[in-house]
Amino acid sequence: MTGFDRAELDEMVRRWIAENERCEKLGDWKPLAEMYTADATYGWNYGPKDEFMAVGRDEIRELALGQEMEGLQGWEYPYQQFVIDERSGDCIGFWKQQYTTTPREDGSLYTVNGIGGSWFRYGGDYQWSWQRDFFDFGNVSALFLEMMTDEAMSEPMNERIAKSTASRLPGWYRIGTAPASLW
């Protein structure tokens, strides 16, 4: 294996963070799809029975960055640290998930405790070929329950939750049945 140029990987991460921050401000993450190769895959596990997988840039745009981010306007995912392996092109970014629109009564932000992150594989040409997200489902659930109790959920987020609990949305699969493996 020949590896990747470290400066190019560092530049990819810089571009990714800048575009991610821009999309957060817009409340529209779909433009991030241009930062994936045409045949990229993007998935995550969601407990012992379910997983999500988008295959190809178009599905990533419409499902992972569209459908799955629907209702998350006002949420930010600031990266805390990146670990980069220039031998494999793998990059792991650790992020927080926090709601910045409506703070708690004490002024603090609703923030998911635990570690969230994304594992990327560089595909060259300043595009990712592979992404897998990981997050603490228990802490996400606890925060969402707190926000519901505090009536701090936005109406678009309530609509998203209702939509996703009413039926199995595109891109969602029982463990082991997705068109691409998590690993």
CA distances from 96 to 7, 77, 116, 154 (A): 25, 5, 6, 19
Q: What is the pLDDT of residue 20?
A: 97
pLDDT on residue 1: 52
pTM: 0.94
Tokens representing 142?
A: 């606890």
Please name every residue paired with 54 in a beta bridge, in sequence order, or none if there are none: 42
Query: What is the SS3 assignment for 66?
Result: coil
Output the pLDDT for position 26.
95
In this prediction, residue 183 carries a pLDDT of 87
What residue type is 143 in one-letter code? L
Q: Which domains does the chain have, with CATH numbers?
A: 6-174 (3.10.450.50)
Which residues of the chain carry a pLDDT beneath 50? none
- Give the C-alpha distances (Å, rounded to integers) separating 50 from 21, 25, 54, 102, 141: 29, 30, 14, 30, 15
Burial of 60 (0-12, 13-18, 19+ CB in 10 A): buried
Q: What tokens appear for 50 in the block?
A: 């379910």
